[in-house]
Structure 1
Amino acid sequence: MLKIIGLVILLSFAFHTQAQTTRCDSLGALSWLVGDWSSKSSKLKINESWKKISNQTYEGHGETYSIKTDRVVSAETLRLVEMSGEVFYFAKVASNELPIAFKLISCTTDTVVFENSKHDFPKKLHYQRFASNKMTVTVSGEQDKGFSIDFITE
């Protein structure tokens, strides 16, 4: 009887863990990103927007505004693409001639991590959803040096 109870407990943990993880080979795991996200501090206002173009492509745009100077200080064009059973994050910024590609390396229901270990900075992009309207994006490089941005959406 104890063996049966142990087996039931083991199986329930296995199914619970499986329910928490998400397949990382399609954009379906990232559908919660779609929308307009914003962050504001005393110095900066940051916006990131995502829209679904197709089942294999999301397009995004990010802008950072200086509140003091009332102007855009940086902007980037973003794209998520599903190709051959993998997902890639492309970021085009003014300082790079070509877009930089990051591969989706892990995901759960509320977390996605993209990585390009050969890029100077950043090397990782970590998106973490905390509620339907709250997420944190952590941008990191060598020895996890970087920064985080807390976003909300309406």
Structure 2
Amino acid sequence: MKRPILNFIILFLVGFSINAHAQKEPSKTFAFVLGSWEMQTAKGKIIEQWKHNPDETLSGKSYRINAKGDSLLTETLKIKKIGKDTFYCSTVTGQNEGKETCFKLISTKNKIYVFEDKTHDFPQRIIYQNQGKNDLLAWIEGELNGKSRKSEFRYKRQ
């Protein structure tokens, strides 16, 4: 009987330790996103680019490139600490009067990083999954008009 309780406590502490590490050093925890990522779509490409900043934050930009090669900045991104917590902040072109929306890191399990803002209209969650050196899966999810929605972004390193 003592064995299962001990195993549970060990698993809980390991999970807590991993999440605490992600909260302490986001620039190291999220280093896997650094660089340029591309996703081919029916209408062209989506490019997401990330860099490490001297202040230990990560900043990114997302572009859409149409079939003609014209590019459009769709959002600017940042992973940063606010107080003791780590946040994924997005400023979407043409939305929210140019103000950023921040999603709090709530989970870091199995190379999946979940950021959440339950008060946001859509999405309420932004998730990144580290799939190795050349593959990155991101998705947004939540409810919109009472319906559950999810959009996936399967990126390849450029």
TM-score where L is the length of structure 2: 0.78
Distance between the aligned counterparts of 1:108 and 1:55, measured in 2? Answer: 26
Aligned identity (percent) is 24
What is the deviation of 1:66?
2.0
Match of 1:44 in 2: 44
Equivalence map 1:69-148=2 (5 Å): 69-96=68-95, 97=97, 98-108=99-109, 110-142=111-143, 143-148=147-152
SS in 2 for 1:18: helix
Distance between the aligned counterparts of 1:141 and 1:56, measured in 2? Answer: 29
What is the deviation of 1:141?
2.1
Distance between the aligned counterparts of 2:101 and 2:36, measured in 1? Answer: 22
List per-residue Cα deviations over 1:53-78 (Å, max 9, x = no partner).
Answer: 035311100011222x5323551111
- Gaps of at least 5 residues in structure 1 are none
Match of 1:54 in 2: 54
SS in 1 for 2:107: strand
Match of 2:14 in 1: 18
What is the deviation of 1:92?
0.8
The number of aligned residues is: 149
Distance between the aligned counterparts of 2:132 and 2:47, measured in 1? Answer: 18
Distance between the aligned counterparts of 1:114 and 1:58, measured in 2? Answer: 15
Task: Tell me if structure 1 keeps the 8 A contact 2:61–2:73.
Answer: no
Task: Tell me if structure 2 keeps the 8 A contact 1:22–1:29.
Answer: no
What is the deviation of 1:148?
0.2
Distance between the aligned counterparts of 1:105 and 1:144, measured in 2? Answer: 20
- Gaps of at least 5 residues in structure 2 are none
List per-residue Cα deviations over 1:92-121 (Å, max 9, x = no partner).
Answer: 112221111111111135111111111111
Which shows bigger deviation, 135-144 or 96-105?
135-144
TM-score where L is the length of structure 1: 0.80
Distance between the aligned counterparts of 1:80 and 1:87, measured in 2? Answer: 7
Distance between the aligned counterparts of 1:118 and 1:95, measured in 2? Answer: 20
> RMSD of aligned C-alpha atoms?
2.8
Determine which structure has more spread, i.e. the larger CA radius of gyration: 1
List per-residue Cα deviations over 1:7-52 (Å, max 9, x = no partner).
Answer: 5xx65x946x838944331303211111111111332201111111
Task: Tell me if structure 2 keeps the 8 A contact 1:29–1:109.
Answer: no
Which shows bigger deviation, 17-26 or 76-85?
17-26
